[in-house]
A and B are shown apart, each in its own frame.
Chain A
């Protein structure tokens, strides 16, 4: 994967005819989880996992979502797939508002939105044979049974590069990459319109990552699939996505086409993330200044006021503490590149030269739950992106 971004040329997204081109529209989505144990004797607390996210995903394209662990990207995915009930906001899929559909009414929709999960071990039932796991979609929706189901399952297995003879095997008898292919086959059974990939390659070896990503790309071409691709590996996301949304603490901070995000980041958080992407050339790597963000991600239970990034932002100013910046185009960008920042970065700007102009108390006080004292060693943000998500966000 690491060598990919140099050679690839991301096609410019097909010009949007109009709103019809949008397969999925998320409007101001909010998901709060009540905190267990609170509410009896103290005010009920909530984890603000997703806090007002709006985005549009176009047909046949790949929308990447990046962000640190705990920023709410997996929760967002599960809300869109309606595995979680949303607290407020709207999800419009293929022209239909699916936000409030009951589980029963959701059933037909399940064939149109599918998910591929992160954990290739945990996402397959260890006690069931691969054939019956991939056959589940047909069994649940009574689409095929008996020999017909077996034939279609074996077709799917072949399509995703598995040996159809391995129909009778158990998940434990496959390697990580193969297990992820099983997950892909299961998601593909319905020929869905939208597949949400929740960090589908994070748990895989780098060479296997490439295989699975190529498989996903092939399937997208063949079946005209639309993907939401969640990852914390920026180079992977850049490689696969047409547009990318950056999330921080339950909010989208910036959305742009893949190339634009990497060349002209507007949000300082995006800038910091990009500076942490490893550069293959060691000379170039030495030249580059990595931006080190101070502190930890604040607690999503009591998120900071104003811009949520202000306690860690090198450009933070009083306005950032007071006002939540709207997600809108900045510095003359087009409508497809909004950023939620009062003080966006100009092109070629070096973040390392900035010092926040807010008081130290503001920076620390807002970081509630942070374990780091004021004078703690800054944390390298690359180090703050663990490879595995600890089970079940938030």
Chain B
């Protein structure tokens, strides 16, 4: 209408692209996820850690199979062959691969069953804290104002209460159970995640693509979950992979202190706790094997989490845990 033609610069920009298409190259966007996956695939530490995690998961799943092979149930006491003359644990042998505990139960089978508890707690508690952290962080960052103030204060208060003391008192008052442990760890560890999400959302909120979404008529829910969430999800995943080992250790700590998963359920924390009373008499395996299981598991998750962070955030910026 009012604008005269001005074609001197040409449309080369466009033509180049179609030429590339004509060359038969398959046009597939390389998504940030894809790039992260490529980076992860070339990371040897990540592969070893992931392999270890998969082995642990497999062993946990196959725990009943091993119980069948050895013929030892997780809570089955072998008072005759599983205890020495003084009623103490017997060392590793062909019958008891990793020895027995103070009640004459097969340590190997109990460690496998203990892995189930650890993994379930680690994953479920992390899911709870991710859900809480993402929702509250999004709300605080996006809505701002009063909502932000309230959520930020709640987080401040929660961060100022020592985790173990609060967890012990809750578990002590309501009596220990597996679900309670999951709930306590999940609810108490969302705080850092919520802070990370909130900070990210605040910095992304002022970018023009959010304004563009509003100009298109997008409502607040759509902006939060379609426009903002994909931009914070990488940080969430990184922090979540690091939360899993944290949750496993927290669960072990609670069980060690006697307010975690109640006996006789096999659990690494309570096994270590029991063993600590026998270690001084030379029953090293009773303490050693559950501790090693806990160490390897958390180490594998931590190394994998680090690699995920490197893969998702190659510049090494943006995540301050």
Binding site for B on A (CB under 8 A): 1, 4, 7-11, 60-62, 78, 81, 83, 103, 106-107, 110-111, 113-115, 117-119, 122-130, 136-137, 140-141, 161-163, 165-166, 168-170, 173, 175, 177-178, 183, 186, 207-208, 210-211, 213-214, 216-217, 220-221, 224, 239-242, 391-392
Contact = CB atoms under 8 A, between A and B. Distances in A.
Contacts of A78: 211
A130 B17 CA distance: 15
B212 A128 contact: no
A214 B13 CA distance: 14
A210 B30 contact: no
A214 B3 contact: yes
B206 interface: yes
B68 interface: no
B218 interface: yes
A239 B3 contact: yes
Contacts of B80: none
B2 A10 contact: yes
Given A123-B211, A173-B29, 20 more contacts: A1-B6, A7-B4, A78-B211, A114-B216, A117-B211, A125-B209, A125-B230, A125-B231, A140-B217, A163-B27, A166-B27, A168-B28, A170-B30, A173-B30, A208-B13, A213-B3, A217-B1, A217-B4, A224-B1, A241-B2
B85 interface: no
A213 to B, nearest CB: 7
A81 B215 CA distance: 7
B212 A115 contact: yes
A173 B3 CA distance: 30
A8 B209 contact: no
B42 interface: no
Contacts, number: 143
A239 to B, nearest CB: 7
Nearest to B13: A177
B1 A8 contact: no
A11 B14 CA distance: 30
Given A141-B217, A173-B29, A214 B6 contact: yes
Contacts of B4: 4, 7-9, 217, 239
Contact of A11 (B2, B5, B13, B21): B2
A321 B317 CA distance: 52
A195 to B, nearest CB: 10
A115 B3 contact: no
Interface size bracket, B side: 35 or more
Given A221-B1, A391-B206, A140 B13 contact: no
Interface string B195-230: 000000000001111011111111100100011001
B237 to A, nearest CB: 13
Nearest to A205: B9
6 contacts: A62-B3, A103-B219, A163-B21, A178-B13, A207-B9, A217-B1
B14 A163 contact: yes
A276 to B, nearest CB: 23
B6 A106 contact: no
Nearest to B20: A163
Given A8-B4, A60-B1, A220-B2, A170 B208 contact: no
A136 B216 contact: yes
Contacts of A110: 215-217
B18 A163 contact: yes
B94 to A, nearest CB: 56
- Residue among B5, B7, B213, B214 having the largest count of chain A Cβ atoms under 10 Å: B214
Contact of B13 (A123, A130, A175): A175
B32 A115 contact: no
Interface in B219-272: 219, 222, 226-227, 230-231, 233
A382 to B, nearest CB: 23
A117 B1 contact: no
Contacts of B213: 125, 136
A391 B203 CA distance: 12
A219 B212 CA distance: 20
